[in-house]
Every structure is written in C-alpha cells, then in structure tokens.
Amino acid sequence: MLKTGIKAPDFTLNDKDGNPVTLSSFKGKKVVLYFYPRDNTPGCTRQACAFAGAYSGFKERNVEVIGVSKDSMKSHTNFAAKYDLPFILVSDPELEAIKAYDVWQEKKLYGKVSMGVVRSTYVIDENGVIEKVFEKAKPDTNAQEILDYLDEEK
C-alpha cells in the first residue's frame, strides 16, 4: 500500500463512456479514489451503493469520487446503470493504476492463492498528495468512514 504524505501516482483511464479521466485534472479538489475487485459481486455492489447513497455528502464537501476496477467499460456501464451510480467509474484492464497504488496483491480464498485487487481507498488532497489510506476497506462502512474523516479534518 502507498503511504500518506506522498504524491499520488497520476493516471489516465477511460470511464464507463470511454472518456479519458486523468487524476491530475482534479487538482484543487479532494478525490476519493477507491479500488474494488469486480463489478456486480456482493461486496463491491454494497460498497458502490454505499458511495452512491453518500454521494451528496461528498458533493457538499467538494470531493470527487472515483471507483477503479479492472472490469471493462461495458461492465462499468451496466453496473452504473443497474445501481444508479452517480460517480465516476474507470476501467483499468492493464492494471496501470491498480499496480501504481499497490492494491494488486496476493489473496487467499478457500486455501487457494491468487492475485487480485485488495479493496482499498485513498483520500487525495487538493495538491495531489495522499492524505489518508483506508486499507482493506469494509464495503458497508467505507463511504461513511470517509465522510466522518473529512468532517474531523475541518
């Protein structure tokens, strides 16, 4: 995992509509960058829906939310439409940002070891520096934890 206080690695990835999204273009605004394993799986769906439910709170605080997985743009389009997700979803099939943020790690499931995305969230400040890291984020509480953190900061 990357640590707080370092410059967030920049990236340009396509959103669900094929539009390029560049992290550095959000300079001057906080960004919540959350990495998740896969669209339409139970935990990832709960996490995305929690971010959708809390989205107005992020907007009130002038914070952009960006979800990143290795799923295709088409998968993101269907996922966003199915659950009415109002925030940006970017596709990272080449694992560019996923590896840059060190969330591509060994995982164990039922005794089987494989590589995959570890659910993690980064809060990036207005100058592009990692301000807070939520390792092994919990799908149901991650969005609220971040809002609470943003309120403590004031």
Helix, strand, coil % in the chain, rounded to nearest 5: 35, 30, 35
Which residues of the chain register pLDDT less than 70?
154
Residue 49 catalytic?
no
Question: Which pLDDT tens digit goes with each residue over 12-49?
Answer: 999 999 999 999 999 999 999 999 999 999 999 999 99
* Catalytic pick among 8, 44, 88, 123: 44
pLDDT of 90 reads 98
Q: Which domains does the chain have, with CATH numbers?
A: 12-19+28-153 (3.40.30.10)
pLDDT of 62 reads 96
Are 76 and 85 in contact by the 8 Å Cβ rule? The answer is no
pLDDT of 39 reads 97
The H or E element containing residue 149 is helix 142-153
